[in-house]
A and B are shown apart, each in its own frame.
Chain A
Amino acid sequence: ILNVEQSPQSLHVQEGDSTNFTCSFPSSNFYALHWYRWETAKSPEALFVMTLNGDEKKKGRISATLNTKEGYSYLYIKGSQPEDSATYLCALGGFQKLVFGTGTRLLVSP
Chain B
Amino acid sequence: NAGVTQTPKFQVLKTGQSMTLQCAQDMNHNSMYWYRQDPGMGLRLIYYSASEGTTDKGEVPNGYNVSRLNKREFSLRLESAAPSQTSVYFCASSERSSLGANVLTFGAGSRLTVL
Contact = CB atoms under 8 A, between A and B. Distances in A.
B108 interface: yes
B102 A98 contact: yes
B101 A97 contact: no
Interface residues of B, number: 29
Interface string A60-95: 000000000000000000000000000001010111
Interface of B is mostly: strand
B43 A100 contact: yes
B31 to A, nearest CB: 7
Contacts of B108: 42-43
A51 B4 CA distance: 26
Interface in B61-99: 90, 96-97, 99
Interface residues on A, range: 20 to 34
A32 B101 CA distance: 6
B45 A95 contact: no
Interface of A: 1, 31-32, 34, 36, 42-46, 49, 51, 89, 91, 93-103
Given A94-B101, A96-B50, A102-B41, 9 more contacts: A1-B59, A34-B101, A42-B108, A43-B90, A43-B108, A49-B101, A96-B48, A100-B42, A102-B40
